[in-house]
Chain A
Amino acid sequence: MTALATERKPRLFTVEVNTTYCKGCEICVQVCPKNVLAMNDRLKANVVNLKDCTGCLNCEIYCPDFAINVEEVEANA
């Protein structure tokens, strides 16, 4: 059981923020359980910690501006 858990490679994801659509409401920053997103100095969502992303899609589902797109890195498959 433990051997399996250690052998499994972590899944990697990409989180794209469309800064033209983003209005800086900060909902994505607060719904992310892993603090992957943060606001930048131009008050737009910004990916700061991509390696912790678990692909839960919370940011994508709760973004009212359709600005976020989460995809899994193909190489993981």
Chain B
Amino acid sequence: MAIAGKIPTRKYLRQDRLPHIWCPGCGHGIVMQALVRAIHNVGLSQDKTVIVSGIGCSSRASGYMDFDTIHTTHGRALAFATGIKMANPELNVIVMTGDGDASAIGGNHLIHAARRNIGITCICLNNNIYGMTSGQFSPTTPECALATTAPYGVIDPSFDLCKLVQAAGASYVARGTAMQARMLEKYITNALKNDGFSFIEAIDQCPTYFGRKNKLGDAYAMMKRQQETSVSVSKAAAMTPAELEGKQVVGELWNSPRPEYAKSYDQVIAKAQQGGGR
């Protein structure tokens, strides 16, 4: 008898590239495994799936996954992914990006990919810091947190990426933490099934820079803390903004299908070929 929920994740990994370069206790591996499990659940073919990533710790993920992968320039993962989807709309395009990669360097690409509702699944691995370059604060670092470039605490208010992407026009938005890996797997599964721009914010832990600098304990303590400060969508609806201070709302935040960009573009091509234009 097979174990319920057991998924052969190894067949989707490039075993010769492992062990990976992430630090001990880094949450990116947990989120990456959630993605692999979701891909298995949906049954995507390894030859018809492209994984695009930018620069940063999170973006190393593409190199460990046995699909067609591309490791692009900083912040431009969504720009490359848009090109891939437009050139061949049959492909399933998945973007693995970090919080800095998606919201700071590639912030413009993020809002425009969401505005177009192009059929890309974007997974933002949010560890609240620029880990690869030794812990500078990013747009999602919480206010008052310490970072290498903010020894007296960050004064910038942090980004709520899910609200940003939802307002820009994405058709599926969800958020989960690394401690809720099974929930993340479910959200990514739904995101992959959604025809349009899907955005998942996966909050995970950086014990090496964010945790050590802010004295948050080991990896598990950070994961537990992220779980404790999470509030589900239904619970959050009955809470006041003051009560939600310092907490993150997790769950499926937005699900509203609308026409996908590559399909709309195909209609333009068909019209042009009929010669109906002026």
Contact = CB atoms under 8 A, between A and B. Distances in A.
A is bound by B:
yes
Interface of A: 11, 13, 20-21, 23-27, 30-31, 55, 57, 61-67, 69-72, 76-77
Contacts of B218: 25-26
Contacts of B1: 11, 72, 76-77
B6 A65 contact: no
Contact of A21 (B18, B33, B181, B182): B18
Interface in B14-55: 18-20, 22-30, 33-34, 37
The interface residues of chain A, by DSSP majority, are classed as loop
Contacts of B247: none
Contacts, number: 76
Given A11-B1, A27-B25, A27-B220, 13 more contacts: A24-B24, A25-B219, A26-B218, A57-B5, A61-B34, A62-B30, A64-B22, A66-B9, A70-B6, A71-B6, A72-B1, A72-B2, A77-B1
Given A30-B220, A61-B182, A65-B19, A25 B25 contact: yes
Nearest to A24: B24
Contact of A20 (B19, B24, B27, B182): B19
B223 interface: yes
22 contacts: A21-B19, A24-B24, A25-B218, A26-B25, A27-B223, A55-B3, A61-B30, A61-B33, A61-B181, A63-B33, A64-B22, A64-B27, A64-B33, A64-B219, A65-B22, A65-B29, A66-B9, A66-B10, A66-B13, A66-B20, A69-B10, A71-B6
B18 A26 contact: no
Contacts of B3: 13, 55, 57, 70-72
A66 to B, nearest CB: 6
Nearest to B29: A64
A64 B28 contact: yes
A44 to B, nearest CB: 11
Contacts of B27: 64
B198 to A, nearest CB: 22
A61 to B, nearest CB: 5
B33 A25 contact: no
A64 B26 contact: yes
A76 B2 CA distance: 10
B181 A64 contact: no
Contacts of B23: 23
Contacts of A67: 19
Contacts of A65: 18-20, 22, 24, 29
